[in-house]
Amino acid sequence: MTRSSDQNAPREGLREHKRRETLRRITDAGMCLFIEKGYEATTLDEIAAKAGISRRTFFYYFKSKDDILLSLQNGMGDMLVAALREEPQDKRPLHAIRDAILKVCAPIPADDMIAIDRLMRSSEAVQARKQASYIQHEKALFAALRERWPKPERETGLRLVAMMAIGAMRLASDALSREDGKRPFDELLHEAFDALEGEI
């Protein structure tokens, strides 16, 4: 088989391409099995088999079984920060974050959100690490906020803003699952932020 006969010429290097492919296969296999037979009941051997790799290779791509689920969650922090940077400078911190969250979450189908949320609830360890990832989001947001409002006396305030914003997001996300998607996410998020204004 000569190289000239390959029609799908790799644009970004064959290595990178294969890597992405394998990563996707593992994630798909994992998600598929998790939904099919539950998170705890799915073993790494099964995932590896379905993804067509060895068990050892799985650990070349993921740090742990949890990471299959959490890789999705963990990307959120960076996305939020990026979206926040694109918000107009004159908005109040809380509104800027709210709109950043809206922008990041808008393209995610509600059904996917709910499905992943349900999966995460099925394992205590995963659920815990999801909560922990919220704290990471808070930290990331706080750092981004401080760039824009660098006065030292605002620090505690900005920490709280980040905390409240992520909290509101959590509330909206919980409500989405609880109501099983009856109302859209952006409505719930607005409601949570409005309630935040009314409180205190």
Partner DNA sequence: AAATAATATCGCACTGAGTGTAATTTTCAA
Partner DNA sequence: TTGAAAATTACACTCAGTGCGATATTATTT
Footprint of DNA on this chain (CB under 7 A)? 10, 13-16, 18-19, 22, 42-45, 52-57, 59-61, 63-66
Q: How far is the CB of 151 from its own copies (least distance, A)?
A: 13
Closer to DNA by Cβ: residue 4 or 156: 4
Do 48 and 55 contact (CB within 8 A), yes or no?
Answer: yes
CB 69 within 8 A of CB 116: yes
167 contributes a contact to its own copies by CB under 8 A: yes
Find the shortest distance in angstroms from Cβ 177 to DNA: 25
If contact means CB under 5 to 8 A according to the sort of partner, which of its own copies, DNA, none does residue 127 touch?
its own copies
- Label residue 65 exposed, middle or buried (CB < 10 Å: 0-12, 13-18, 19+): buried
Q: Considering CB distances under 5 to 8 angstroms, the limit depending on partner class, which of DNA, its own copies, none binds residue 168?
A: its own copies
Q: How far apart are the first and last CA of the chain?
A: 71
Residues 83-112 that bind its own copies (CB under 8 A): 94
Residue 1 CB, shortest distance to DNA, in Å, is 10
Name the binder of 53 from DNA, its own copies, none, CB < 5-8 A by kind. Answer: DNA
- Judged by beta carbon, residue 33 or residue 145, the one nearer DNA is 33
* SS3 at position 192: helix
| 16 contact choice in DNA, its own copies, none (CB below 5 to 8 Å, kind-dependent) | DNA
Interacting residues of 91 by C-beta distance below 8 A, sequence separation 6+:
99
Q: Which of 47, 69, 140, 164 binds its own copies (CB under 8 A)?
A: 164
Residue 45 binding: pick among DNA, its own copies, none (C-beta 5-8 Å cut-off by kind): DNA
CA 141 to chain centre: 14
Neighbours of 93 (CB within 10 A): 21
Contact 129, 64 (CB under 8 A): no
User: Could you tell me if 44 and 56 are in contact, meaning their C-beta atoms sit under 8 angstroms apart?
Assistant: no
